[in-house]
Amino acid sequence: MKLYYSNTSPYSRKVRLVIAIKGLEKQIDRLLINPFEDKETLRAINPLGKIPVLLLKNNEILFDSPVICHYLDTLCEDKRLIPEKGWQKWMVLRWEALADGLVDAAYNLVMERRRPTSEQSMTAISQWAEEIQQVLHEMELKYHELDGNITLAHLAVGTAIGYLDFRLPDLLYTSSCPQIATSPNLLSWYEAFKSQPFMQLTKPIN
């Protein structure tokens, strides 16, 4: 199999974390690609022109990151990251959706800020910043659900907070007092989680 990815893409990181936890490294060649510079190559394999993309041995192609993660999870039965049945399964998938939504808002905000100042929409920027705070608040209330064995929920949340830490660290703290975390319990959870070898191995690099 081949994974098209980049070192700074949070969606790719989630997939790379799944690969690391499930020990699938030897089965997957990793191909670095810049989704902005190699648009044509990317569109030829994913009409959405986005990474990550997974090319399977039978030449089938999978995107986007949830689909790839869910597929990879079926490959190694003994280390399931998504419980097969019961309410626990839906809780894990809901956490993934929440964390992915946080990444979407943060990614959009980062992209908007990269546009020339005269073209930036302050309305959009403040809406995404507010959405990020709403999600952080929800995660803070429920962070205790992240106790226990590692699931896709943990990897998705680690990826999302890791992306804020990488690109928008100011949003993790109150604007009036930069030493005070907006979601202290969640941040403590992340501080412990990020020291795990698989988080270090997939740390975003510019």
Interaction site with ligand GSH (CB under 6 A): 9-11, 35, 49-52, 64-65, 100, 107
Q: Is 49 or 83 the residue whose CB approaches ligand GSH more closely?
A: 49
Spell out the residues 6+ positions from residue 175 whose beta carbon is closer than 8 angstroms to its own.
Answer: none
Partners of 54 in beta bridges:
3, 62
Contact 15, 28 (CB under 8 A): no
Instruction: Specify the residue for token string 């190699």.
Output: 38
Q: Is 35 or 162 the residue whose CB approaches ligand GSH more closely?
A: 35
Alpha-helical (H) ranges within the chain are: 10-22, 39-45, 65-73, 87-114, 122-142, 152-167, 184-193, 197-201
Least CB distance from residue 108 to ligand GSH, whole Å?
9
Residue nearest to ligand GSH (CB): 64
Least CB distance from residue 107 to ligand GSH, whole Å?
6
Least CB distance from residue 53 to ligand GSH, whole Å?
9
Q: Is 50 or 194 the residue whose CB approaches ligand GSH more closely?
A: 50
Q: Is 51 or 186 the residue whose CB approaches ligand GSH more closely?
A: 51
Least CB distance from residue 109 to ligand GSH, whole Å?
13
Q: Is 48 or 141 the residue whose CB approaches ligand GSH more closely?
A: 48
Give the Cα separation of 19 and 24 in Å (integer): 5
Least CB distance from residue 176 to ligand GSH, whole Å?
31
Spell out the residues 6+ positions from residue 23 whose beta carbon is closer than 8 angstroms to its own.
Answer: 76, 79
Q: Name the nearest CA neighbour of 17 among 171, 175, 154.
A: 154
